[in-house]
Chains A and B, each alone.
Chain A
Amino acid sequence: MKYSVEREEEAFITVDGRKLYTLQDFLIWLNTCSEEKFRYHVNERENHFVNWIRYSLKLEELAREIENVRDKNRMVDIVSRYIEGEKEILEII
């Protein structure tokens, strides 16, 4: 499945204990988390989400898009647009 992990243990566990299994879970977390919690995962040195998106969700294109993004709102925009574009595919599954 392109938009969710394939196994339960591949969930991304956030600093506040939320388990993210799908790209939509990630988007809701981004929309509702504080800047401080976001900074824990995405800062000048690292972006924890890139590997999860690349290897667990297997969304290489999206991983490349957010690799260098450090701004929360910008990341929300990219992920929202990606999901909107994917909906046509999800409908068929």
Chain B
Amino acid sequence: MIVGFFSMKGGVGKSTLAINLSAYLRKFYGKKVILIDFNFYNYSSKVFSGENLLEYGDNLCEGIYPLKYFHIKFVKRFPSNLERDLGILKAYYDYIVMDVPNDLNLMLSLEKYVDLIFLVLTPEIFSIFSNLYLYRILEKNKVRILVNRVQNIDDIKMIEREFGRVSAIIHYNKDFLRSSYLKVPLPFMKKKGKALDEIDELASIITGERKRKSILEKIVSFFL
């Protein structure tokens, strides 16, 4: 399955969420995951993978590093054999996670290959406005609205008025900052926490299965 993190606005947390979701699928689901970083020479994922890793190869299945957290490929220019290479990677990996920069042409070129798009926005006017434009031109059945850095739940109502249903909410949480500072993805840094519960919810959108349940959910599932 190919999952893309898209947004028309930079700095909304696409890379952070792509990194943590990839690490979560690896650690708690035991899946083979590759994170493809399309941020041409501006790779946020290098924080977690070592600054000295070199970007090799013009094709997607060339220059892949097997990190403990996930496998990673740094893309330095648009791949020439994208369709062929995605076929090869799909045969090997359970999940291909794409971290895509806010480049409209790139997002539209990748859209047809992606099974699910997380459209990432933050609850602020520029993010909502620019992503509304993108949302209108993307294939609606592939898109899931993901609101990041939420501090006030009332903001969600405003976003739902514009986009319809919000699929996932990630609250502002200092654990994300701590994880980047320590250069360890959250799932490999902590075992419990609200941020991990929210990443679990994100993972469940892809896998259809929850790994973490609230006490109430556990009680209900015990009696069912």
A contacts, CB < 8 Å to B: 1, 3-5, 8, 11, 18-25, 28-29, 31-32, 83, 86-88, 90-91, 93
Is A5 a contact of B89 with CB atoms below 8 Å? Answer: no
Is B56 a contact of A90 with CB atoms below 8 Å? Answer: no
B52 sits at the interface (CB 8 A): yes
Chain B residues lying within 8 Å of A87, measured Cβ to Cβ, are 66-68
Indicate the size class of the contact surface on chain B.
Answer: 20 to 34
Is B66 a contact of A93 with CB atoms below 8 Å? Answer: no
Chain B residues lying within 8 Å of A1, measured Cβ to Cβ, are 52-54
CB distance from A14 to the nearest CB of B (A): 11
17 further A-B contacts with Cβ under 8 Å, apart from A1-B52, A8-B56, are A3-B65, A4-B53, A4-B56, A19-B59, A21-B56, A21-B63, A22-B66, A23-B66, A24-B66, A25-B61, A25-B64, A32-B91, A87-B66, A87-B67, A90-B67, A90-B68, A93-B52
Is B57 a contact of A4 with CB atoms below 8 Å? Answer: no
Chain A residues lying within 8 Å of B30, measured Cβ to Cβ, are none
Closest 9 CB pairs of A and B: A21-B56, A24-B66, A91-B68, A24-B64, A87-B68, A21-B63, A93-B50, A19-B62, A28-B92
B71 sits at the interface (CB 8 A): yes
**Contact status of A21 and B92, CB under 8 A, knowing A4-B54, A4-B56:** no
B88 sits at the interface (CB 8 A): yes
Which residues from 60 to 111 on chain B have a C-beta closer than 8 Å to any C-beta of chain A?
A: 61-68, 71, 88-89, 91-92
Q: Which of B59, B68, B71, B88 contacts A24 (CB 8 A)?
A: B71
Is A28 a contact of B88 with CB atoms below 8 Å? Answer: yes
A41 to B61, CA, bound (A): 19
Chain A interface mostly helix, strand, loop or mixed? helix
Q: List 14 A-B contacts (CB under 8 A).
A: A1-B54, A11-B56, A11-B57, A18-B62, A19-B62, A20-B62, A22-B56, A22-B63, A22-B64, A24-B66, A28-B92, A31-B91, A87-B66, A87-B68
Chain B interface mostly helix, strand, loop or mixed? loop
Q: Which of A8, A22, A32 contacts B65 (CB 8 A)?
A: A22
CB distance from A34 to the nearest CB of B (A): 12
Chain B residues lying within 8 Å of A91, measured Cβ to Cβ, are 67-68
Is A18 a contact of B56 with CB atoms below 8 Å? Answer: no
CB distance from A58 to the nearest CB of B (A): 15
A93 to B91, CA, bound (A): 28
- Kindly report which residue of chain B lies nearest to residue A83, judged by CB atoms: B66
Chain A residues lying within 8 Å of B53, measured Cβ to Cβ, are 1, 4
CB distance from A18 to the nearest CB of B (A): 7
Chain A residues lying within 8 Å of B91, measured Cβ to Cβ, are 31-32
CB distance from B65 to the nearest CB of A (A): 6
Is B52 a contact of A18 with CB atoms below 8 Å? Answer: no
